[in-house]
Amino acid sequence: MTANEALIHTFYAAFQKRDAATMKSCYHPEVHFHDPAFQDLHGAEVGAMWQMLIERGGDMTLNFSDVKANENEGSATWVAHYTFSLTGRPVQNHIHAHFRFADGQIIDHRDEFDFDRWLKMAFGWKAWLFKLPPVRQKFHQRLRTMLNKFMTRNLR
> What 3 state SS string does 66-135 have?
EEEECCCEEEEEEEEEEEECCCCEEEEEEEEEEEEEECCEEEEEEEECCHHHHHHHHHHHHHHHHHCHHH
Q: How many residues does the chain have?
A: 156
Q: Do 77 and 92 touch, CB atoms closer than 8 A?
A: no
Record the pTM: 0.92
Q: Do 55 and 48 touch, CB atoms closer than 8 A?
A: no
DSSP state of 18: T
Beta pairing partners, 98: 75, 110
Summarize pLDDT for 64-115 with one digit per residue, the tens.
999 999 999 999 999 999 998 889 999 999 999 999 999 999 999 999 999 9
Number of domains in the chain: 1
Neighbours of 43 (CB within 10 A): 14
Q: Do 42 and 31 touch, CB atoms closer than 8 A?
A: yes
Query: What is the spatial distance between Cα 89 and Cα 92, in angstroms, rounded to a whole number?
Result: 10
Summarize pLDDT for 114-142 with one digit per residue, the tens.
999 999 999 999 999 988 999 999 999 99
Domain coverage including residue 77: 3-154
Give the domain CATH number at 39. 3.10.450.50
